[in-house]
Amino acid sequence: MIDANAFRDVDPGQRVLMGPGPSDVPPRVLQAMAAPTIGHLDPRFLALMDETQELLRYVFQTANEFTIPVSGTGSAGMETCFVNLVEPGDEVVVCINGVFGTRMADIVNRLGGNLVKVEAEWGRAVAPEAVEKAVAGRKPKLIAVVHAETSTGACTPLDDIACIAADAGALFLVDTVTSLGGMPVGVDAVGIDAVYSGTQKCLSCPPGLAPVSFSAEALNALESRKAPVVSWYLDMGMVRQYWGGARKYHHTAPINMVYALREALRIIAEEGLEARWARHLLNHCALVAGLEAMGLSMLVPEAERLPMLNAVRIPDGADDKKVRAALLADFGIEIGAGLGPLAGRVWRVGLMGHAACRRNVTLFLAALETILKAEGVKVNAGGLEAAAAVYGQRTG
């Protein structure tokens, strides 16, 4: 027998989530998630599915009929796009400037694709010229890029690479896990054929679903496959029959996660995309102004920075792990460590969705200054004043 009383109630405590994800979740989303569970073929749930798809199209800025939340986290969205569109021997160009481009390349290799890498320095955008050079003389089936590289805070603009893909007759696949809901994505306007994201970043929903959208061209590639999709669970040829008019059973949908996503998307629609993008940018600018006034510097050049994920160089004399531990223990603030070659060199500070607010920027700047000074690290005064000045300029 096991003593059930030995296990306490779940009480993780309050956190200010300012890392690379997950982000803070609004109470309304958590409340929606707690609604009664009903069947995944219940007429009321089917109606909620339709509404969720409509809201997702709004956030993706697309009219794509096939726009759904895949059952799984953002990485499931990545696999969904690749396993459905890539077959053995297909030539695939993958842009790599961080962890998630590297992950894309790994999946292509596992699928038996003919991988062509376009590599850029971590912390920099991928140059369209490098993509054009890699494509020259080739006929790739697909060109893939990470819009917002979460491991570095770098943003790769999409328009030029989309044109390169179109000229090459290739499908254009984009990772928007960190960018969706925090900055323009414009699936239709840009010309993206396959796109995926995650619920836990700028959508401010718990992790567990991966929004994806396929263009008509991507669906045609799926329908024209010579071999079955290698993943049964992520085979969109079957899953789309459940999310489409047929409502054919494939797997039991995560009912309550769909409730949560629908509410999170409803909050975004209430705020409006343009207002939401502007809010992320404002708080990013205030954070950077405060950090630079303190004497800290950013990894990514200004023109290539993401507004929702900020890679801050760790100053000389600061202990990476001690500072992050103190932020969590003393102030309840979570930030992220560097990954790969950036481990121990940067902190990743997220301002995503519900967490992108003046209160969090101010709290973080004050907490970081306090901790660094206690560690004996030289920090300039004026960080809070610099951030306040940015807010004053934008709201005055």
Q: Give the domain CATH number at 390.
A: 3.90.1150.10
Compute the distance between CA of residue 33 and CA of residue 74 in angstroms, rounded to an integer: 19
Q: Is 378 left (phi over 0), alpha (psi -120 to 50) or beta?
A: beta
Given this model, what pLDDT does residue 396 score?
Answer: 44
Which residues sit opposite 95 in a β-bridge? 118
Up-side HSE of residue 385: CA atoms within 13 Å toward CB?
5
For residue 69, what is the domain's CATH number?
3.40.640.10
Q: How far apart are CA 122 and CA 310, in angstroms?
A: 14
Asked whether residue 282 falls in the same domain as residue 265, the answer is no
Q: Is 22 part of a structural domain of the chain?
A: no
**Domain region containing 84:** 27-270
Do 190 and 287 belong together in one domain?
no
String of DSSP letters for 369-380? HHHHHHTT----
Task: Supply 193's token pair.
Answer: 């054929």
CA atoms within 13 A on the CB side of 142: 29
Same-domain status, 172 and 240: yes
Q: What is the 3-state secondary structure (H, E, C) of 235-302?
A: CHHHHHHHHCCCCCCCCCCCHHHHHHHHHHHHHHHHHCHHHHHHHHHHHHHHHHHHHHHHCCCECCCH
Q: Is residue 338, in this structure, part of any structural domain at all?
A: yes
- Give the Å distances, CA to CA, from 5 to 9, 10, 12, 13, 137: 9, 13, 18, 20, 67
Q: Do 161 and 261 share a domain, yes or no?
A: yes
Residues 292 and 387 in one domain: yes
State whether 159 and 100 are in the same domain: yes
Q: Are residues 360 and 386 in the same domain?
A: yes
**Which of 297, 275, 301 lies closest to 356, judged by CA?**
275
Per-residue pLDDT of the chain (396 residues; tens, 9 = 90+): 888 888 988 888 899 999 999 999 999 999 999 999 999 999 999 999 999 999 999 999 999 999 999 999 999 999 999 999 999 999 999 999 999 999 999 999 999 999 999 999 999 999 999 999 999 999 999 999 999 999 999 999 999 999 999 999 999 999 999 999 999 999 999 999 999 999 999 999 999 999 999 999 999 999 999 999 999 999 999 999 999 989 999 999 999 999 999 999 999 999 999 999 999 999 999 999 999 999 999 999 999 999 999 999 999 999 999 999 999 999 999 999 999 999 999 999 999 999 999 999 999 999 999 999 999 999 999 999 999 999 998 754
| Domains of the chain: total | 2
Q: Residue 4's pLDDT is what? A: 87
Q: Which residue has the tokens 């709004």?
A: 58
Q: Which amino acid is at 335?
A: I
Output the six-digit token pair for 80: 């969904």
Cβ-based neighbours of 354, under 8 Å, separated by 6 or more: 23, 24, 25, 26, 204
Q: Is residue 16 part of a domain?
A: no
**Contact call for residues 23 and 351 (beta carbons, < 8 A):** no
Distance CA 94, CA 288 (A): 31
* Residues constituting the chain: 396
